[in-house]
A and B are shown apart, each in its own frame.
Chain A
């Protein structure tokens, strides 16, 4: 199998996407001028910045974003207080027409959010009339400070059903419902959306959070002239949350709708992980905010090479492929145990393994101060593997399974003589029987 055998296209709600990589609704999809450039770069489609019907004036807070860094790494996360599109509706619709004319084989998804039933209907119809291939209903924007809009709806499940239903009544194009992650169980609202007629679910929108506080003025950031706010967090730090919600919905038999995965995607691996957990398209914002549209080139190339390597010709054959191996923790086989294995050939002698094992793990390492190398006491190793997470050299520390008769040493007790003084009775699960 070679590159030419790979087909990245995918069917999503009966619509063909040339590849599963889409811009999500955000500043990266704010105008046709930008979206056109993204299409030239290789993106398969766009969820346009959420439309506004001109009835409510949209003014963005200023400044409207704050970067979340970790150590030297910038934009591990992003917090924003941006509203829906601040452009006049007609400008956006003219851009729709332009994009459909210029890029007929790219998918244009109109994201809408209404403040009333009628407004949902109006925006849905006008999108379809001006060339949108699909709709995405934004039930999840955490910043629309109006009751009955954004994630307030996302958290009031009957409204999701009602508005979805309204929209479905007046358009014939497929409808995606976009979910907020600021809840515990996403399958519930997703099922409401399905009842309302939704054809697919996309998730996640931003996670409510606080990224940073300005320590001089005690003002959370972004600092909008002295005021900060809990608002939407995105980027790599939210990927685990996004993956989890997508997998929950993918496993939910009552739902069984196509999924579009969003949250912290930057590389083909991030995208693939969403796909393996059940998404058939994926959407990106923060990755583009960080690096620009060009990342799609690496997503396409990386995913293609991977598929060649795995001899999988179609993206659809990857969708959900990891789901059978995702189970609840009670399914683990606890009889099988292992430990860390050290090959010190390339060890640089930093001792980070020693420090973390001493202070956060099994104290299974000793430190040879002469050679400046760790020495593993195998029987004390907990197999937590944290040493391998901090070791700066690849391949030194690996996991190895031990034979069934291997026994791990218990953690040491400092002073056994104190046992006589313990105030203690064994816990009895069924006191009625014992007494």
Chain B
């Protein structure tokens, strides 16, 4: 993980904060984190209060402190930028959460679970934040998770050098402490099973299954070509040694220009790859990855092959990938304010010798995911249709949020959806309870 603050550094950074009236940072967080408030509390030595402000609002406050692209969220409008640089809000936030653990401060009392049972499918940030929020309100929450351990992308996606699993464990402890029950290694997989939970004693369901199918470039399967999901999850699915062998001192190509591609390239580098090439068909500035991520990748000596489009994989006599046929591209003239698209340059094909390829061109919903909830409306990409302001799907009692609704998004947006859904589920169940009593009465 990035170098983290200790007390002195965090306090020094907090001291730079201008304690703005109507703090603009506080309007920049999708999950309504209030940096203006927690930094002021910190500065006034009200340290537990500062930690409480963070964690009560965002159960994954520590993870967000590390993983949020703060430069375009809270720190974007920071008044400090007009002086020299924004306050490092994410790092202060992460410090406070860690510090709370170090001093043994528990933000939450264990709530009494006296209300209805609610099922959450998926233990990524959306599921975790929904579960925690509901538990705080007194609901009995069970999170069903297909993998052996909870966390979603936080465990099986983001590489450990960026976000350690030990850190994840501490964040999860807070959620377990709230009484949330985890059913791991328990995929919801039968047709209609998601909706069926409503017949098994659960009064509401929150679907937060994320995007775990990887798009691929070519139809046929080639040995030595990974998708990003399999590649990044290898340390936690018992395949690390195999992958290490395939990467160490080898030539690795990662295809894609987003955050996930940067993680794949960084992960390959961390496993000791000889060279890592990042192949992207558009320009450097068009890469969807955050600017900071792109710069970090360059600093890791990853070679950026921009304006290059893969045409085919070449294989050796054992059927293993041995090269990528690439064609150089050029950007088209802009039409209106549309994005300039890459156009192949004639006769510019060339071959990059390679031992391993990782495709990181986007995650999507599992092909058959819609079968789990036939009554829920989806779009043509199989993303669930749900309103952002209450996470309500087309089915009563079924709510959805996170990447399965938004498409590839951010941890903090997933946290936000989890909270929104918890509030919507609560109002729904309060209404339902009221109806039941009137019926009884």
- Determine, out of A250-258, A265-273, A351-359, the stretch whose residues face the partner at the interface: A351-359
The docked-state distance in angstroms from the alpha carbon of A350 to that of B39 is: 14
Q: Which residue of chain B has the shortest Cβ distance to A354 in the bound complex? A: B21
Any A CB within 8 A of the CB of B155: no
A63 at the interface (CB under 8 A from B): no
Name the segment of B10-18, B182-190, B261-269, B372-380 touching the other chain: B10-18
In the complex, chain A residues whose CB is within 8 Å of the CB of B15? 71-73
- Contact of A350 with B20 in the complex, beta carbons under 8 Å: yes
- 1/0 per residue B1-45: CB within 8 Å of A? 000000000011011001111101000000000000000000100
**Per-residue A-contact encoding for B78-100, CB less than 8 Å = 1, 0 else:** 01101100000000000000000
The answer to whether A302 has its CB under 8 Å from any CB of chain B is no
Residues of B35-75 at the interface with A, using a CB-CB cut-off of 8 Å, are 43
Smallest CB separation, A47 vs chain B (Å): 34
In the complex, whether A104 has a CB less than 8 A from a CB of chain B is: no
Chain B binding surface, main DSSP class = helix
In angstroms, Cα B22 to Cα A392, docked, is: 16
B83 touches A393 (CB 8 A): yes
Taken together as a complex, chains A and B put the C-alpha atoms of A348 and B14 apart, in Å, by 17
- B12 nearest CB across to chain A (Å): 4
- Alpha-carbon distance between A350 and B87 when the two chains are bound, in angstroms: 13
| A98 proximity list for chain B (CB < 8 A) | none
| B43 A367 Cβ-Cβ under 8 A | no
Q: What's the Cα separation between A393 and B80 when bound, in Å?
A: 11
Which residues from 382 to 406 on chain A have a C-beta closer than 8 Å to any C-beta of chain B? 392-393
CB of B77 to closest CB in A, whole Å: 9
Nearest residue, chain B, Cβ from A355:
B21
Q: Which of A348, A350, A355, A393 has the most CB of B within 10 A?
A: A350
Task: Please pick, from B11, B21, B82, B83, the residue contacting A351 in the complex, using a CB distance under 8 A.
Answer: B21
- Shortest distance between the CB of B349 and any CB in chain A (Å): 53
Instruction: Report the minimal beta-carbon distance from B272 to chain A, rounded to whole angstroms.
Output: 40
Which A residue sits closest to B15, measured CB to CB? A72
Chain B residue nearest to A73 (CB atoms) is B15
Report the bound CA distance from A207 to B11 in whole Å. 28
| Residue A372 at the chain B interface, CB threshold 8 Å | yes
Whether B19 and A349, one on each chain, are in contact in the complex, defined by CB atoms closer than 8 angstroms, is no
Cβ of A217 under 8 Å from chain B: no
State the CA gap A372–B24 with chains docked (Å). 9
Residues of A within 8 A of B82 (CB): 348-349
In the bound complex, do residue B19 and residue A350 qualify as a contact, i.e. CB atoms below 8 Å apart?
Answer: yes
Contact B83 A352 (CB under 8 A): no
With contacts A71-B15, A72-B15, A392-B83 taken as known, whether A352 is within 8 angstroms of B20 at the C-beta atoms is yes
Closest chain A residue, CB of each to CB of B14: A72
| B20 / chain A contacts, CB cutoff of 8 Å | 349-352
Contact indicator A349/B79 (Cβ below 8 Å):
yes
Check if A14 is an interface residue, CB within 8 A of chain B: no
Residues of B within 8 A of A367 (CB): 21-22
A350 pairs with B18, CB closer than 8 A: yes
Residues 117-154 (chain A) with a chain B CB within 8 angstroms? none
A369 within 8 A of B: yes
Supposing A71-B15, A72-B11 touch, asked if A351 and B43 sit within 8 A by C-beta, the answer is: no
With a cutoff of 8 Å between Cβ atoms, the chain A residues found around residue B18 in the complex are 348, 350, 352, 392
Q: CB-CB < 8 A to B11: which residues of A?
A: 71-72
B48 CB to nearest chain A CB (Å): 13
A-B CB contact pairs (8 Å), 10 listed: A71-B15, A72-B12, A72-B15, A348-B80, A348-B83, A350-B18, A351-B21, A352-B18, A352-B21, A367-B22
- Contacts A350-B21, A352-B21 aside, 5 further interface pairs with beta carbons under 8 A come to A71-B11, A72-B15, A73-B15, A355-B21, A392-B83
Closest 3 CB pairs between A and B?
A351-B21, A72-B15, A348-B82
